[in-house]
Amino acid sequence: MTTSSLLTDHYELTMLSAALRDGTADRRCVFEVFARRLPTGRRYGVVAGTGRLPSLIADFRFSEEDVAFLTERGVVDRATARWLAGYRFSGDIDGYAEGELFFPGSPILTVSGTFAECVALETLVLSVLNHDSAIAAAAARMVTAARGRSVIEMGSRRTHEEAAVAAARAAYLAGFAFTSNLEAGRRYGIPTTGTAAHAFTLLHDSEQAAFASQVAALGKQTTLLVDTYDIAQGIRNAIAVAGSDLRAVRIDSGDLSVLASESRALLDSLGATDTQIIVSGDLDEYAIAALAAEPVDAYGAGTAVVVGSGAPTAGLVYKLVEVDGRPVVKRSEHKATVGGRKTAVRRHKPTGTATEEVVVSLGAPAPEPHDRLLQRAFLRDGVPVPDLPTLHDSREHLRQCLISIPWEGLKLSAGDPAVPVTMLGGSA
């Protein structure tokens, strides 16, 4: 997909027009991305999307066609049009690594440059981070609930066609094993999987014929979907066709906890003791957790993961916090914010358990043993820094971060943020 500079809110360009005209466009600014709160009851957020952002920002340009549209529609005047035609972000971006946890107030991204070049990025930055972080947080809870069993992302059909690709990426980042989305496989190298839907069985003259065809095409290392008609008969048909070395059966409907036990017993009685059971069908983190004691080998998660399981957006905002070195902050009620560029560390016990996140405005926290600095460089002078983490690096980073938080932080029930944030200094 090509980046479009018009994935932007109208007001960014009207602000830009006015600022170019009054001379404030070149003031040095710092914008910060943070969440005022986590979704209700959530104990952590997961930073996701920072792996997609650097190239999107480096490629953010207004084409001749873009500028012509904006001028014809009267969105910008001629001077602004000329400025946009030469747009190239030349500032710096720092932030939390992808896969890092965040809490209310964590300064997860810091964008520095002129007002003009930074303000134009608000929508793109927030769209990417709000979407991907919401999916990753929901997916991480499902992975925790699955207790080491594989989880497969199969939700593409329930979300926007391009959001589906980003959702597959965010779920993989969070520890999912596979996605059904082929474009996510191509674009990000994520392992893809899939075998058959009920339609394939219905297409054939009998369930046995469908199974025989699938095994002929894909071999016995496939998964047969056994719940189109009667599940017990479906399992018998599957083993009759494929033999006891069939890799897996999938059940997509019904009371999965009862069906998993019954199916395991039936498979075992047929000698198919190594044939795995994959369950799917409206699974969210709670449904997955409820199946922990059942003989399930893998979970397919669809709708719940791609819509963030009750929290479809991460609530991240992009706020101006510094102008020409002076901290600034909105003062009206209910939206208390600390101005100034922040430095953030996470403190840990000697055992490695995180105890606190300390965020300091216009300075840095006094170092303590077991501190971990949370911010890193993403772009310098508009150019992505070398050796940014890969998706696999970020996946491992999240895994380590989730090990480091207090155990209560992994509970699915509603609770406070797993790690408290202490905000120090610098209020404007």
Q: Taking CB under 8 A as the criterion, which residues in 23-42 touch its own copies?
A: 24, 27, 29, 31
Closer to its own copies by Cβ: residue 129 or 402: 129
Site for its own copies in 202-231 (CB under 8 A): 202-204, 209, 212-214, 216-218, 227-231
> What Cα–Cα distance (Å) separates residue 308 from each residue in 42, 61, 78, 166?
12, 31, 42, 12
Stretch that binds its own copies, among 272-280, 332-340, 353-361, 394-402 (CB under 8 A): 332-340
| 336 sits near its own copies (criterion: CB under 8 A) | no
Closer to its own copies by Cβ: residue 230 or 408: 230
Stretch that binds its own copies, among 72-80, 141-149, 289-297, 387-395 (CB under 8 A): 72-80
Site for its own copies in 84-103 (CB under 8 A): none
Pairing of strands 372-373, 101-102: unpaired
| 385 sits near its own copies (criterion: CB under 8 A) | no
| 198 sits near its own copies (criterion: CB under 8 A) | yes
Stretch that binds its own copies, among 14-22, 87-95, 364-372, 411-419 (CB under 8 A): 14-22
What is the C-alpha separation between 371 and 360, in angstroms, rounded? 14
CB under 8 Å to 321, separation ≥6 — which residues? 30, 31, 32, 327, 328, 329, 337, 338, 339, 340, 341, 342, 361
| 48 sits near its own copies (criterion: CB under 8 A) | no
Residue 115 CB, nearest distance to its own copies (Å)?
A: 5
| 58 sits near its own copies (criterion: CB under 8 A) | no
Closer to its own copies by Cβ: residue 303 or 353: 303
Closer to its own copies by Cβ: residue 9 or 268: 9
- Please say whether the dihedral angle defined by the alpha carbons of residues 158, 159, 165 and 170, taken in this order, is positive or negative: negative
Tokens in use for 125? Answer: 């930055």
| 156 sits near its own copies (criterion: CB under 8 A) | yes
| 320 sits near its own copies (criterion: CB under 8 A) | yes
- Among positions 185, 384, 389, 420, the unique one binding its own copies when judged by CB under 8 A: 185
Stretch that binds its own copies, among 142-150, 180-188, 409-417, 418-426 (CB under 8 A): 180-188
- Among positions 54, 312, 382, 425, the unique one binding its own copies when judged by CB under 8 A: 312
295 three-state secondary structure:
coil
C-beta separation of 72 from 81 below 8 A: no
Residue 311: φ, ψ to 5°: -135, 80
Closer to its own copies by Cβ: residue 112 or 404: 112
| 11 sits near its own copies (criterion: CB under 8 A) | yes
| 283 sits near its own copies (criterion: CB under 8 A) | no
DSSP state of 272: -
The half-sphere exposure of 315 on its side-chain side, counting CA atoms within 13 A, is 19
Other Cβ atoms closer than 10 A to 368 = 11
Tokens in use for 164? Answer: 């589906």
Q: With CA atoms as reference, report the closest residue to 196 among 173, 224, 174.
A: 224
- Please say whether the dihedral angle defined by the alpha carbons of residues 421, 425, 427 and 428, taken in this order, is positive or negative: negative
| 416 sits near its own copies (criterion: CB under 8 A) | no
C-beta separation of 100 from 379 below 8 A: no
Stretch that binds its own copies, among 68-76, 92-100, 346-354, 411-419 (CB under 8 A): 68-76
C-beta separation of 75 from 283 below 8 A: no
| 192 sits near its own copies (criterion: CB under 8 A) | yes
Closer to its own copies by Cβ: residue 5 or 106: 5
Residue 322 CB, nearest distance to its own copies (Å)?
A: 9
